[in-house]
Amino acid sequence: MNQVCLTIRCLLPCALLALVACAPLPSQQTEYSAGRVRLALPAGSWEDLGSSDQALRLLPQPDGRIALQTRTVGLRGAHQELLAVLRVQANRSNDWQGPMYWPGNCPLQQGVQVEDVSRGSRVRVDCLRFKRWVNGPQWLEQNQPDLAQWLTGQKLAVNAPYSFMNYRYTTEGGATVMVDVLADQRLLSPKTRNNQEFLAAGRPALQWGHALAQAVRVSTGMVDGYLAVPPFPFSASVP
């Protein structure tokens, strides 16, 4: 009997070690909430820059509104420089009240690459907008004044030159997710050595935008609104 107990005492620590070795490692993703969205960020030094609540006016009801929440996060570099700002706006809850008609849709704009997957539909929006080169605050102030004013009020500035990307996805039932991205160009575009490489340098950014758009579409069908932001295609190494 004593020998059996001794054997058990010897085996127990080994069994515990085996269980620890097999236990899943905790997730390294940084997550934040943005209304009903569970925002999962790729690896990097992300920080929460704050959240706020809004009410978006909608048709056809004259007093129709939908409650949104905004979450803004920032990506810092090796020297604490601000490499990217990502802003997500989404429904506060899953209580959608359709049908809804969305103003604005996806207009063309000079100097901005626009992809309208919804093809001008009045009951849904699936719009990706990308400006590859923004080297000063003037363009942002003219085209995204609320974001520009918020950055100024927070005394934040993304490394210039940077790129701007916006994706907006809405459904007739009332689901809506809008994402704005300001990113140091080095995160989205490769270094170029000739004209041919320069002309092709925007492709990785658009591929990243398509991956982001797909993640947003998927999130609207998830109970917990899980939205996994894809990692940027490049790292911003210090020159």
Mean pLDDT of 107-133: 90
Percentage above 70 pLDDT, the chain: 76
How is the beta sheet containing 37-41 ordered, strand by strand?
Answer: 30-34, 37-41, 226-228
| Residue 205, pLDDT above cutoff 90 | yes
DSSP symbol at 144: -
C-alpha 83/C-alpha 58 separation (Å) is 34
- Read off the pLDDT band of 185 (50, 70, 90): very high
Mention every residue, 6+ apart, whose C-beta is less than 8 A from residue 200: none
At residue 25, the pLDDT reads 37
**Tokens coding 11:** 């085996």
pLDDT reading at 23 higher than 60: no
pLDDT reported for residue 58: 64
Domain extents in the chain: 29-228
Instruction: Give CA–CA dist 181/83, Å, rounded.
Output: 11
Q: Assess whether pLDDT exceeds 50 at residue 119.
A: yes
Cα 99 from chain centroid (whole Å)? 26
Residue 181 has pLDDT above 60, yes or no: yes
Q: What is the number of alpha carbons within 13 Å of residue 126 lying toward its C-beta? A: 16
Mean pLDDT throughout 106-122? 88
Q: Which amino acid is at 59?
A: L
What would the pLDDT profile of 50-75 be if each residue is shown by its tens digit? Answer: 999 887 766 555 566 778 999 999 99
- For residue 236, what is the DSSP state? -
Helix or strand holding residue 204 (H, E): helix 203-220
Sheet with 65-76, edge to edge strand ranges: 45-57, 65-76, 82-91, 176-184, 162-170, 125-134, 113-116
Q: Which residue has the tokens 């520009």?
A: 148
What is the model's pLDDT at position 228?
97
pLDDT class for 104, splitting at 50, 70, 90? low
Confidence band for 4, pLDDT divided at 50, 70 and 90: very low
AA identity, residue 177: V
pTM over 0.75: yes
Give the model's confidence band at 192: pLDDT under 50 very low, under 70 low, under 90 confident, else very high. confident
The type of residue at 210 is: H
